[in-house]
Chains A and B, each alone.
Chain A
Amino acid sequence: MDEAAARQMAEDIEKGEKILGANQSPQPDERVLAEVKKSVVAALRQRRTVVFQKRILGAAVAAAVIVASVLVIMRYGNTPAGNQQTRLIASSVWEGADDADVTVLKAEIENIQSELSEAQSDDAGGNGSAAVDDLETELIEVNGDIWKG
C-alpha cells in the first residue's frame, strides 16, 4: 500500500469513527448497573463459599487418608514372622562351618556333578543308569555332610 492510500484509509477510519462518536448508543439504566453489581457481589460470595467448601472437603479427605494410614500401620505395623524372608541356610550352619572343610566338600560336589553329567550324556554305555543312581546318592550324601559341619 502506498503512502497516499494509507493516508486515505486512516482518514476514512477517522471519519467513520467520528460518526460512531456522534451517534452514541443508549446508556444502561442505573438500576441495571446496580443489579449487575448485586449479581457480581452474589457471584463473589458464592465463589468464596465454594472455595471454602472445597478446602474443607480437601482437609477432610486428607484427614481420612491420614487416619486410614495410621490404622493400617497399627494393624500391620509389626511385620509378622511369616512375612520375613526365610534364610535358606541357618546362620549357625554358616558360622560353624570350617572354611577348609567347605572348600573340600565343594570341590567334591563339583567333581561328582561333572561325573554325573558325563554319565547322563553317555547314552551308549550299557551301565549308564546304575552309574547315575550311584553318583546321585553320593552327591546327596556329600551335600548332607556340608550342613552337618
Chain B
Amino acid sequence: MARYVVSQLGRFLLLMVAVAVVTFALVSLSPVDPLQANVGQAALMSMSEEKRAALAAYWGADTPMLERFLAWAGDLLHGDLGMSLRYNAPVAEVIASRAANSLALMGVAWVASGVLGFVLGVAAALREGRLLDRFVRGYCFVLAASPTFWVGLLLLIVFSVWLGWFPLGFSVPVGVAAADVTFADALHHMALPAITLSVVGVANVALHTRAKAIDVLNSDYVRFARARGLTRREALIRHGLRNLALPAITLQFSQIAEIFGGSVLVEEVFSYPGLGQAAVTAGLGGDVALLAGIALVSAALVFAGNLAANLIYGLVDPRMRPVRRQKEVADD
C-alpha cells in the first residue's frame, strides 16, 4: 500500500514538472511581446526608449528563459503561483474565485452526461437495431459531430433570445450587488452552459456505453445466463451492469478532460467567468503566470480523475486486486 502511494505521488510530481516546463517554454517561445501585452500597443509606442528599457529590466523580459523558469519554479515550491498580469491579482486568488464557478458548471455537466449517457447507451443496446436505438444513435452522431460552441450558440438563440427562459450570459445577474445574488440566480445562469456541456457529453458516453453493452450482451456469460432461463433484460441487469461499470468508470473519468476542454469554449460563448475563460484571456494576453497556473490545476484535476478511476477499479473488479485467495483454498 505504501509503495502504491509513493509511486502515485512520484507520478503526480513528474506530471506537474512536465506540465510546468512545457507551458512555460511554449509561452516564452510565443511571439507575444511581454511589454506590449502588458502596457498596450498605444502606450508602448508613446514611451521613450529609456522607459521601455527600464520596464523591460523591471519585468526581466531579457532574462534567459531557464533563469526565469527557475525563479518561477522556486516560488512555486513555496506555494507562490505569481501575479496575474491581466487580472492584477495573485494567480492563486484568480484561480480560486473562478474555479468555484467552473467546478460547479463542470460537475453538473459531468454527472448529467455520465448518468444520461449510460442509461441511453444501455437502453439502445437492449433494443439494438430498433427504433429507440436508431433514435439514440442518430442523436449521438449529430451531437458528436457538432462543435460545442455551435451547440451553445444555438441554445442561446432558442432559449435566451427567442424564448427568454435563460439569461444571455455571465454567472450572476447584471447590476445586482454581489451580496444580493441568490442561489437561484446562480443556478439560473449556470443552467444553459451546463446543459450545453451535458448534451454534447452525452453523445460520447452513450455511444461508448452502447458499444460496450452490445459486447456484453453477446458475451459467453450472458449467453449462458440466458441458457439458464434468464431473459435478456434480467441477464443484463444481473451480469451486464457489473461488467459495464468498469468501462463506464474509465469513460466517466476520462470525460473530465473532455468536459474541461468543452468548458473553455462554452464559457467563452456564455461569457461565464470560469477557469476556461481565464485561460483564454491569459493565453491571448501573454499572462504566463496565470496560464501556467491554470495548466497545473487542470492537469492535477485530470490526474485526480484517473487516480480515482484506478482506485475504483480495484473495488469493482476482483481480477485487479492483489492475489490472495488462490493460496488459501487448496486446489482440489
A and B pair up? no
Which residues from chain A sit less than 8 Å from chain B, CB to CB? Answer: none
